[in-house]
Chain A
Amino acid sequence: MRRIFLCLLLIFAAPAWAQDLQTVLDANRDQIEKPSRQTIGPVINEIAASGDGAVAFLEAWADRRIGMAEDGRFAIIDGEAAIDAVTGAAVTGDVKALRPNSGVRGLIAAALVPALLADPDISRRRAALDALGRDATAEHLPALRASLDDPDPGLAARKARLERLLTIRFDPDPAARVAAIKGFSGDTSTDLQAALNPLLASSRIAATELPADANVLQQLSVGSDLTRDEAYRLLVDAGLARPRLSDAEQKAALAANLVDGQVGNIPVANLDSPDARDRAYRALAAAGTVPPAASAEDVDAALDSYVFADVYVEPSAEVTDAARATLNGLVFRERAQQGVDLTLDALSLASIYFLAAIGLAITFGVMGVINMAHGEFIMMGAYTGYVAQTFIANKTASLIVALPAAFIVTALAGIVLYRLVIRHLMHRPLETLLATFGVSIALQQLAKNIFGTQARPLTAPDWLGGSIGWGEIVSISTIRVAIFVLALLFLCMFLYITKRTRMGLNMRAVTQNPGMAASMGINPDRVAMLTFGLGSGIAGIAGVAIGLFAQVTSELGQGYIVQSFMTVVVGGVGNILGTLAGAAMIGGLQKGIEVLNPANTLAAQTWMILFIIIFIQFRPRGIFPTRGRFVEG
């Protein structure tokens, strides 16, 4: 350590008694010619300390541009020409290049950092700073401090920041480190976390009593903080207690000492209980055939006579306290950001559910017609998008074509379904459910027959491919933002149609009282058909949107049908704002549960469904129940 400090001093002070480059090179000729990573370190430091020409030599060496001239002088190769490494005179004749391996070159680069930090060339200073940021050691700290007043203000700021970080890690004075840590409060960058986390590393120790100067994280009590087994294993690992015999070892020992069908005078047939085995083993141990094992009493005694604690590796309590305080602040900030990120995720999931459910909200909610083939309409929309992409190569253009095409295809399918099936089953909701279920089976298999069972890609255009983010944690993919916007758009469109257009007026009239609506000259059948077409068409558009981020298969819609129905039911049938609230609730809930158990989305779905079942207990008619005389039952 001291030697390294000396070397560093030498570079900058360059005292008169330093050996010059020539002497150093001559003294270490063999080492330089065939360097090895283990032994070359001191030589490199000596060269670095040798004053004029040393930096040039080391840079050339790291670049594999040092060669050996025929007369044994070291030369710096520059393209075809070569100059003497010490004097700078031209070298003639053959020069054999030296080839240090990457490990040696790493050492050279590290030795060069202090010199480069003060280099007049800004790009070299920047590169040196980058290298230091990645991989710094204690000896770099004085060099960095010496070069703090950088002419470039940006670089000076970076140097100052890095100096503070290195102070946290390497400064010998705890007070200076604490000051550095406190100076960072409010910062959330990862390099600060990387500097702070190692300070809080702890190790678990067992001792008869804790050393007075130990920086204790927490004292552990056996039984609550750590199990008896763990505690005893700690003692065994530390060599403080005899190992306990595992059941398998005991069994093997017994089997090895099987004599005449007996072990320790106990017949083998009786050895089918732990008690009998213990007795047999004790008998063997008493006879001296096996080493005695720690008994339960031994374990108790050992555990009682030792204390267990987590102790910081860092000896200074002030430093660990400061680091902990700063990290806690960091964690809180990070939590807040994660919360924002989660909200965005939930919002995005909610908009997907909303988009999938909005068509259903129209057909089921407004018309009271239950359409189990709704999921298959979503799938049809997704396949329409896929077909559009096979015809139009430009992704943006194909998407622009696909959206209205999907609407038209599924709206037509919906109208056909209405004319052929649903119209004949009006006011028989259960039978509608069954019939549309038959349609759903048939459509799914039809899609399989046409498009095959493998997933078809529906690629998003490039401008939808990226993601939008703030900071390091909060980010959301552009496609999800687009879906959110699409969902909003449909909400507005639907509200406009129902509240502001003739069609919407008719629709509401037919919903509330078909007989009266018919008397007023509205054709209920026609209105119902158009409404059904509208709902189905929106399902098709939802299909294109969902297909952009999910795989398009014939089962695409099936995954959404239960959730979509739940969304409508939870929200309150016959109310589009209810559907919005339902989607928000289900999406938020699912994401919320996923946070508690991140590895398991299946569990999240299970709990979500259970929650809905219970929710319906308390609000059987949903969040926004429909009121009025025309409500059934």
Chain B
Amino acid sequence: MLIRKYPSVLIFLAVLAVFTLIVTIMSQAYGTGAIPTSTIKLFGKTLCLALAALAMDVVWGYAGILSLGHMAFFALGGYMIGMWLMYARTEEIVTATLANAPIPPTPIEVQEGIAGQIFGVVGSTDLPLAWSFAGSLQIQLLLVLLVPGIFALLFGWLAFRSRVNGVYLSILTQAMTLALALWLFQNDSGFRGNNGLSGLQNIPGLTDLPQSTISIWFLWASALALGVTYVLASWLVSGKFGSVIRAIRDDEARVRFLGYSVEGYKLFIFTLTAMICAIAGALYYPQAGIINPAELAPIASIYLAVWVAIGGRGRLYGAVIGAIFVSLLSSWFTGGKAPDVNLGFYTINWVDWWQVLLGVAFVLVTLFAPRGLSSIIDAVAGLRHPMRRGKDLGPDLGALREKEAEA
């Protein structure tokens, strides 16, 4: 049913599978070694960003909530998994060191050693309360979902309850992100201040495995998460639920008067996408190796919106395409690999001018191509944007039908 309605799901899954297979065959760990490990990590990270963009598309493109705080949930997920990675890895090192001592260590001594190692940089030797469960992978994995989930639930409940919507909500989410980032920047909040968590690429228990193998595992995990979430998101937005959230996007007051609990729908979609972002973050940061509060800066969330807008919001594949296209292009330009353009009187160095180009492109996309890159696919599929001129969708003779207004 789902696939009959959205054949693009199959195409997407096929493309993703083929991509993963090709990368695996060309990897150093399981194939020819044509693609270096750093590039595989880049692909893996890009897939995670695409996952976050997918969530952003559901919450913004379908439910119409322009959240400028979803990258905060992404980073929170990263922090939660990073706590375990750092704690368990330090535990291994500390245990190995203490094992050489003549007297075996007590559990308290081991914990003190770990705390000293981790929090020495911020001048503390005590393990903060927030790290109580850092030793347990299962609990931290649960927290990856729970902490951003509960956070989003609380924030969303407060915001939607008082009917904060539109730009106000955007500004409020941005303020929330800023507050969270500022809080994490403090040394005494227990997350190592602006040092952040580091050394996350070393997976505890897998220290013997080379990074080339670990990176391909993470690529698989990221691709799997993206695929599963894509199917889930397609299912979510295709049925009645999808119709309601799109209706909320188009006219919130009307949906409320029809008797739907608008706040409930919004809250559900806000929290769910926050948790998806957290999963993406939890997969992203072990590949990036380091996380610090700068990752939560409001600008990061706005970039997420930029990817979705450039890819095409209201199209699930659009978000994925946008995230992959822009972030790969961005790392190509800022990596200094793009050739300089000599204008005779001035040489354009893309490292300096990429942001300008991105900003201008973003303005142009917003102005002229609200569907972004996916409008190319729409054009191929023959979907035309009907000239609604304010006319309603509905059963009347003069009204546009859902089929027509799909684009």
Contact = CB atoms under 8 A, between A and B. Distances in A.
Nearest to A565: B171
Interface residues of B, number: 56
Contacts of B106: 272-274, 277
Contacts of B178: 562, 605, 609
Given A255-B102, A421-B367, A617 B172 contact: no
Interface in B174-212: 174-176, 178-179, 182-183, 185-186, 188
A431 interface: yes
B3 interface: no
Contacts of A612: 175
Interface stretch (A433-441, A481-489, A502-510): A433-441
Contacts of A441: 355-356, 358-359, 362
A609 B181 CA distance: 11
A421 B367 CA distance: 7
A443 B362 CA distance: 13
B163 interface: yes
Given A445-B355, A562-B298, A271 B162 contact: no
Contact of B366 (A277, A434, A443, A569): A434
Interface stretch (A1-9, A68-76, A304-312, A422-430): A422-430
Given A268-B103, A449-B353, A435 B366 contact: yes
B102 A617 contact: no
A438 B363 contact: yes
A612 B175 CA distance: 9
B162 A617 contact: yes
A609 B173 CA distance: 11
A182 to B, nearest CB: 44
A449 B352 contact: yes
A346 interface: no
B166 interface: yes
Contacts of B299: 558
A526 interface: no
Contacts of A600: 186, 188
A445 B104 contact: no
Contacts of A610: 179
B106 to A, nearest CB: 5
Interface string B137-157: 000000000000000000100
Interface in A42-82: none
A370 B101 contact: no
B interface majority secondary structure: helix
Contacts of B354: 445
A435 B186 contact: no
Given A272-B106, A421-B367, 7 more contacts: A421-B363, A437-B302, A449-B352, A600-B188, A609-B182, A616-B164, A617-B158
A425 B366 contact: yes
B162 A616 contact: yes
A438 B309 CA distance: 11
Query: Quick one: which of A434, A435, A610 has the most chain B CB within 10 A?
Result: A434
A425 B366 CA distance: 9
A558 B297 CA distance: 11
Interface of B: 64, 66, 101-109, 155, 158-159, 161-168, 170-172, 174-176, 178-179, 182-183, 185-186, 188, 253, 298-299, 302, 305-306, 309, 352-356, 358-363, 366-367, 370
A357 B188 CA distance: 32
Given A444-B355, A445-B352, A445-B353, A569 B102 contact: no
Given A442-B356, A445-B356, A617-B158, A602 B185 contact: yes
A606 B181 CA distance: 9
21 contacts: A271-B103, A273-B106, A430-B170, A434-B305, A434-B366, A435-B363, A437-B302, A437-B305, A437-B306, A438-B359, A439-B363, A442-B359, A444-B355, A445-B353, A562-B174, A569-B171, A600-B188, A603-B182, A605-B182, A610-B179, A613-B155
B269 to A, nearest CB: 16
Given A613-B176, A614-B158, A430 B360 contact: no
Given A565-B171, A569-B171, A438 B352 contact: no
A278 to B, nearest CB: 11
A618 B179 CA distance: 20
For the complex of A and B, the 6 pairs showing the least CB-CB separation, nearest first, are: A442-B359, A438-B362, A445-B355, A441-B359, A609-B179, A438-B363
A interface majority secondary structure: helix
Contact of B183 (A434, A445, A606, A618): A606
A431 B186 contact: no
A327 interface: no
Given A251-B103, A449-B356, A370 B182 contact: no
Contacts, number: 151
B380 to A, nearest CB: 25
B64 to A, nearest CB: 8
A602 B179 CA distance: 9
Given A258-B102, A442-B356, A424 B175 contact: no
Interface residues of A, number: 55
A617 B161 contact: yes
Contacts of A444: 355
A255 B309 CA distance: 66
B166 A429 contact: yes
Given A272-B104, A272-B106, A603-B186, A438 B366 contact: yes
Contacts of B359: 438-443, 445
A499 interface: no
A438 B162 contact: no
A435 B185 CA distance: 30
Contact of A569 (B105, B168, B186, B361): B168
Contacts of B356: 441-442, 445-446, 449
Nearest to B253: A633
B170 to A, nearest CB: 6
B176 A438 contact: no
Contacts of A609: 175-176, 178-179, 182
Interface in A268-311: 268-269, 271-274, 277
A411 B178 CA distance: 29
Contact of B104 (A271, A562, A613, A616): A271
A613 B175 contact: yes
Given A421-B367, A600-B186, A434 B175 contact: no
Contacts of B107: 272
A403 interface: no
B125 to A, nearest CB: 13
A573 B167 CA distance: 12
A566 B175 contact: yes
A429 B169 CA distance: 12
Contacts of A424: 367
A376 B85 CA distance: 39
A351 to B, nearest CB: 21
Nearest to B365: A438
Given A445-B356, A562-B174, A616-B172, A268 B102 contact: yes
A606 B104 contact: no
Contacts of A433: 66, 167, 170
Interface in A576-626: 600, 602-603, 605-606, 609-610, 612-614, 616-618, 620
B387 to A, nearest CB: 17
A268 B108 contact: no
Contacts of A558: 299
Interface in A434-477: 434-435, 437-446, 448-449
Query: Quick one: which of A425, A605, A606 has the most chain B CB within 10 A?
Result: A606
A620 B102 CA distance: 65
B168 A268 contact: no
Contacts of A272: 104-107
Contacts of B179: 605-606, 609-610, 613
Nearest to B174: A562
Nearest to B309: A434
A451 to B, nearest CB: 12
Contacts of B363: 421, 435, 438-439, 442
A441 B354 CA distance: 10
